Amino acid sequence: MTSGVSTGAAISPDSGEHWAQEGAWEVAPGIHRIPLPLPMDGLKAINVYVVASDDGLTLIDGGWAIPVARELLDKCLRSIGSGFGDIRRFLVTHIHRDHYTLATVLGHEYGADVALGLPEKPGLDLLHAAGRGDLEGGNPFSAVLRSAGAGSVADAWDLGRRTEDLPDPVDWAYPDIWIEGDTTFDIGTRSLDAVHTPGHTPGHYVYADRADGLLFAGDHVLPTITPSIGFTIPPEPDPLGHFMASLARVRALPDLRILPAHGPVAPSSHTRVDELLAHHEHRLVQCADSLRSRGASTATVVAGDLGWTRHERSYDELDLFNKGMAAMETKAHLDLLVVRGEATETTTDDGIVYTLV
Task: Enumerate residues 6+ apart whose C-beta is below 8 A from 142.
Answer: 154, 157, 158
318-343 per-position pLDDT tens digit:
999 999 999 999 999 999 999 999 99
Element (H, E) at 289: helix 269-294
Write 17-24 long-range contacts (CB < 8 A, 24+).
Answer: 19/44, 19/45, 19/47, 19/263, 19/264, 19/265, 20/44, 20/45, 22/72, 22/76, 23/76, 23/79, 24/50, 24/76, 24/77, 24/79, 24/80
Sign of CA dihedral 156, 159, 163, 166: positive
Residue 131 has pLDDT above 50, yes or no: yes
Q: What is the pLDDT of residue 1?
A: 43
How many whole angstroms separate alpha carbon 177 and alpha carbon 195?
A: 15
Q: How many CB atoms are closer than 10 A to CB 252?
A: 10
Secondary structure class of 167 (helix, strand, coil): coil
Bridge partners (DSSP) listed for residue 154: none
How many whole angstroms separate alpha carbon 155 and alpha carbon 146?
A: 9
Secondary structure class of 205 (helix, strand, coil): strand
Q: How confident is the model at residue 43 (pLDDT cuts 50, 70, 90)?
A: confident
Q: How much is the mean pLDDT over the chain?
A: 93
Q: What is the pLDDT of residue 141?
A: 82
Element (H, E) at 75: helix 67-79
DSSP state of 66: S
Residue 155 has pLDDT above 60, yes or no: yes
User: Could you give the percent of the chain with pLDDT greater than 90?
Assistant: 82
What is the mean pLDDT of the segment spanning 308-322? 91
Q: What is the pLDDT of residue 3?
A: 44
Report the chain's C-alpha Rg in angstroms: 20
What is the mean pLDDT of the segment spanning 256-277? 98
Question: Range with the lowest mean pLDDT among 1-15, 124-138, 199-213, 267-281?
Answer: 1-15
Element (H, E) at 254: none
173-204 per-position pLDDT tens digit:
999 999 999 999 999 999 999 999 999 999 99
Secondary structure class of 317 (helix, strand, coil): helix
Adjacency order of strands within the sheet including 257-260: 183-187, 190-196, 205-209, 214-218, 257-260
Q: How many CB atoms are closer than 10 A to CB 214?
A: 23
Q: What is the pLDDT of residue 167?
A: 77
How many whole angstroms separate alpha carbon 86 and alpha carbon 245?
A: 37
Residue, of 252 and 233, whose pLDDT is higher:
252
What is the mean pLDDT of the segment spanning 270-277? 98
**Contact call for residues 216 and 258 (beta carbons, < 8 A):** no
Q: Which residues of 106-134 are buried (b: 16+ CB within 10 A; e: fewer)?
A: bbeeeebebbbbebbbbbbebbbebbeee
